[in-house]
Structure 1
Amino acid sequence: MNIRAFAAALAATVVLPLGVAQAADLEVTHWWTSGGEAAAVAEFAKAFDATGNKWVDGAIAGGGSTARPIMISRITGGDPMGATQFNHGRQAQELVEAGLMRDLTDVAEKGNWKEVIKPASLLDSCTIDGRIYCVPVNIHSWQWLWLNNEAFEKAGVAVPKDWNEFVAAGPKLKEAGIHPLALGGQPWQANGLFDTLLLALGGKELHEKVYVEKDAEAAAGPEVAKIFEAAAQARELSIGTNVQDWNQATNMVITGKAAGQVMGDWAQGEFQIAGKVAGKDYSCLPGLGVSQYITTGGDAFYFPVLKDEEGSKAQDALAEVLVAPETQVAFNLKKGSLPIRGDVDLASANDCMKKGLEIVAQGNALTSTDQLLSPDSQSQKQDLMTEFFSSTSMTPEAAQERFAEIISSAD
């Protein structure tokens, strides 16, 4: 989509959506539709409604890959919502450059965001030409292995302490009629699983070479070859799960149909809403139990330009609410993510969240691939990983060759 090509023609026609009954009613679009996600987003809505405005929920099912094209189409088509979710990174960059997103710098300066939002890379992802265009709301990390403790007891093996022990337990799990690894069919899940393997098993230096430096030679080298071999093992462990959505895969782990899942820390919300207790019913291994590094991506809200003064004031109020300490605690405890503020009280955090907080405090948080690669490069990589994980006919060698080509031209 070439957003710049028609942005100028649409700029004069941007109005509030027809569904908004009052100026202070703000439609907010997002893709948080699972049980844990819905419970978390309700905290945002409650806090915003308390300002005298009204949160008009615009949830779009199917995840970000389904929701983002709809959101972008509405904004560029002259039917903007009041606020919309994107991931931290470059997903909304063209919309900002086309003048379709509000500059929030004044709100950010009033709230002292540069001082309270940590790590600084979160706000950096919202900043273009020195101006701030979005509100980070959480820190998510992909590098987690979620395990059903009872499933391993049933299979007669100890709960793994790392990825290698998990792979070794695969045969026993299969004998017990338990799927070793749950993996949904949404393309981004396979992509995230591969990136998790690369950082956890390959280490920080390899992650930086491939995704920061865009080193095609490293991407084609022996270290990445080992990652593709591990990905082939993961593919074998996930055969037969036959679910689509990520939360369906998580539910397989919660119910003991599967023993484990590699998924971001948002999976915590599903375990919590199911009444499961971290450290008792389930285990969580950041860095797959192999590495003490995680990437810090997450979600942010952008505010399309509205030609309505009351709507713009409501946008300001929502931006302030999203960053407020009490809102940050309420939302992130239910979402399973970490807050974007370092000055909030998380005494009630569970064992898994505390592990994530400790890693961030140690300075072992790296930039996510959503922030390092353009949407186009991510899409190419996602297509490759979907093909690789869905069919054993693609060899690790063939997949690595294509991967190196993608990295060689990545931006």
Structure 2
Amino acid sequence: MVRKSILTVLMSAAAMPFCMSAQATDLEVTHWWTSGGEAAAVAEFAKAFDATGNHWVDGAIAGSGGTARPIMISRITGGDPMGATQFNHGRQAEELVEAGLMRDLTDIAEAGKWREVVNPPSLLDSCTLDGKIYCVPVNIHSQQWLWLNNDVFKKAGLEVPKDWNEFVAAAPKLEEAGIVPLAMGQQPWQTSLAFQVLLVAVAGPDIYNKVYGDKDAELAGSDALAPVFEAAARARDMSKKSNVQSWNDATNMVITGKAAGQIMGDWAQGEFQMAGQTAGKEYSCLPGLGMNEVIQTGGDAFYFPKVDDAAITEAQGVLANVMMAPDTQVAFNLKKGSLPVRGDVDLTAANDCMRKGLDILAKGNVIATPDQLMSADSVTQINDLFVEFFNDPSITAKDVQTRFAAIVADAE
């Protein structure tokens, strides 16, 4: 059980630098959380913020982050900023911060002792530029998962796979049964996600860090990495009949038994939970595709654009503290399928998949996301490459490896 109620945390002026507002303020918050599980999670933030006497004005933007971010950036640079906005951990808002358009949260972070409670510390480092903190990390999302419909395998007379290789071996029999082996949406980040998850699973986290972190183009184009691109080509073949666009539509294919599995981040858990399914019963989850079990320390963060309005500025500070409050962290992340950024919260209600993630995190088996290691432009180039690859079977594994290595060579 969570140690305190959300209201208790919000009203504790001694422990937290926020309390009920003297005057209610509407605060527009933009984000791209629109699937069923995501909407349930973001409602926890809204409920906790509204409990302070302010009002969360929901600015959800349909689509993915790739769709939403240009809209958010355009509003901020165009002089029409929202009160708060979502970005992913990493360098996505770097230019906005450098341009002086984002609020410095260092005083709030120091008062709340964020450096003492955020785990791993790299999450807060991703919000820091020139020693100042500019965002609130709200969760740890890892992309390194394979989600499986247990019943699909049983009906096909197959054991539920324990790793990627067993999953690939089961594909022909699944196809004979009319099941799409691998569900995959066609948004650019999804195909790129599948590739980099395969890179970690097949080649290991050290190779991943050298390629994405050190920008080792020679390694990226070497024979040592050829199996990774061959695995990506196999994934392309297994997903050729997926025919969906959004990630949550692909997840729904797994939930409903139209597909056997999906490579997707842990946010997919929210969709399984909304469908009333239980981890370890109706579905299984394989961190690191069951091969190299690691947790990425990426996730979501909220930035607060500078505004010339004292009431909005005050409400921004309240929301920043609400998002970091222990009970809000628990309530939000249990719905979202992610892990809290606070290392001091009670997670006895965590499900089987969340416990796997917590165990891996406790062992220190973590890697950064591409957004934390490369510029937004370099990540976009890789995304575009794998959209083309997954949609054009004529592009060979060797071809895409050569092009990928060239992007890595010029990456920032």
Q: Matched residues in 1 for 2:44 and 2:205: separation?
A: 35
1:168 aligns with 2:161: no
Q: Matched residues in 2 for 1:223 and 1:182: separation?
A: 28
Partner of 2:329: 328
Q: Structure 2 regions of 5+ residues with no counterpart? A: 1-22
1:355 aligns with 2:388: no
Q: Is the 8 A contact 2:233 2:397 kept in 1?
A: yes
Listed as ranges, the matches of 1:28-43 within 5 Å are: 28-43=29-44
- SS of 2:119's equivalent in the other structure is coil
Partner of 1:239: 240
1:122 aligns with 2:123: yes
What one-letter code is carried by the residue in structure 2 that aligns with 1:64? G
1:210 shift after superposition: 0.3
1:135 aligns with 2:136: yes
What one-letter code is carried by the residue in structure 2 that aligns with 1:62? G
Q: Is the 8 A contact 1:253 1:260 kept in 2?
A: yes
Partner of 2:12: none
Q: Structure 1 regions of 5+ residues with no counterpart? A: 1-21
Listed as ranges, the matches of 1:7-406 within 5 Å are: 24-406=25-407
CA distances 1:293-336 after superposition (whole Å, capped 9, x unpaired): 22110000000001000100000000000000000000000000
Q: Matched residues in 1 for 2:259 and 2:44: separation?
A: 31
1:223 shift after superposition: 2.2
Q: Is the 8 A contact 2:293 2:360 kept in 1?
A: yes
Q: Is the 8 A contact 2:24 2:53 kept in 1?
A: no
Q: Is the 8 A contact 1:23 1:308 kept in 2?
A: no
* TM-score normalised by the chain length of structure 2: 0.94
Partner of 1:19: none
Partner of 2:11: none
1:345 shift after superposition: 0.4
* TM-score normalised by the chain length of structure 1: 0.94
Q: Is the 8 A contact 1:25 1:56 kept in 2?
A: yes
After TM superposition, which residue ranges in structure 1, 4 or more long, deviate above 4 angstroms?
none
1:23 shift after superposition: 7.2
Alignment RMSD (CA, Å): 0.8
Q: Is the 8 A contact 1:23 1:311 kept in 2?
A: no
- SS of 2:277's equivalent in the other structure is coil
1:340 shift after superposition: 0.1
Number of corresponding residues:
390
Q: Is the 8 A contact 1:40 1:332 kept in 2?
A: yes
Q: Percent identity?
A: 71
Q: Is the 8 A contact 1:138 1:340 kept in 2?
A: yes
